[in-house]
Amino acid sequence: MDKYIIIVAGGKGLRMGGDIPKQFLPIGGRPVLMRTIDTFVAYDSNIHIIIVLPIDQQSYWKSICKKYGFNTPHLVANGGETRFHSVKNGLALVPDNSDCVVGVHDGVRPFASLSTIREAYDMAIHKGTAIPVTDCVDSLRRITTKGNKSEDRSQYKLVQTPQVFKADILHNAYKQSFSPLFTDDASVVENMGHAVELTQGNRKNIKLTTPFDLMIAEALIKSNI
């Protein structure tokens, strides 16, 4: 079965406090986005890679690919107004049938483990959907009109990517009109009435959003954990 991965990299890096979009920042001497792509190639060298980038970042991406000698085959789709629209643009490059599976991954999550990726794709092949999650390790409190209250953290999971689906399921889901409640691909598929399956994520699979996250990323690379 053919496998696709849509890597969404539309961030502007405002919370990083610099001019370079966060997906292009180097960690361990290599841009984040390249490390993310490398992870999926390590999982399956034949996987079809689609990168979604804002139009005004695509020439910069080409220049750093040349600088780093990065020649992994991939297609580039235009970023949209929201993540929903960006994924939809990337999905247009994926066949609309049940004979292939497609994952959607955040470009700034370079530490997804091979076991997390493998389990997600295997589950999607057999069940149609797969969403990697991890347990909540912190206590939770819910804000109410009367103040706040403790919540049972065992009833909640933290959601990661890659989120993987049979291609026809994801295509059908993205025919819906945009809703601000669509925070990830699972929420889009679920809104269509399709149940989602949970698989095991990994705690190292963090999303790099702030300078503190970059410090953690550098430490992970140096320690080779």
> What pLDDT, in 10s, does the model give residues 164-175?
999 999 999 999
pLDDT band for 14, please (50, 70, 90 cuts): very low
Q: Which CATH number fits domain 2-223: 3.20.20.10, 3.30.470.10, 3.90.550.10, 3.40.630.30?
A: 3.90.550.10
pLDDT band for 78, please (50, 70, 90 cuts): very high
pLDDT at position 207 over 80: yes
Q: Which letter, b or e, does each residue of 138-154 get, where b requires 16 or more Cβ atoms within 10 Å of its Cβ?
A: eeeeeeeeeeeeeeeee
Distance CA 56, CA 175 (A): 26
Residue 98's pLDDT is what? 86
Count the Cβ atoms, other than its own, within 10 Å of residue 64: 15
Query: How do residues 127-151 score in pLDDT, each as one tens digit?
Result: 999 999 999 999 999 999 999 999 9
pLDDT at position 15 over 70: no
Residue range 117-128: mean pLDDT, rounded: 98
Distance CA 139, CA 30 (A): 35
pLDDT at position 18 over 60: no
**From start to end of the chain, where are the E strands?**
2-8, 26-27, 30-31, 48-53, 75-78, 100-106, 129-135, 140-144, 147-151, 157-159, 163-166, 198-200
Which residue bears the tokens 């235009």?
Answer: 78
Q: What is the pTM of this model?
A: 0.94
Query: How do residues 82-92 score in pLDDT, each as one tens digit?
Result: 999 999 999 99
The rounded radius of gyration (Å) of the Cα atoms in the chain is 18
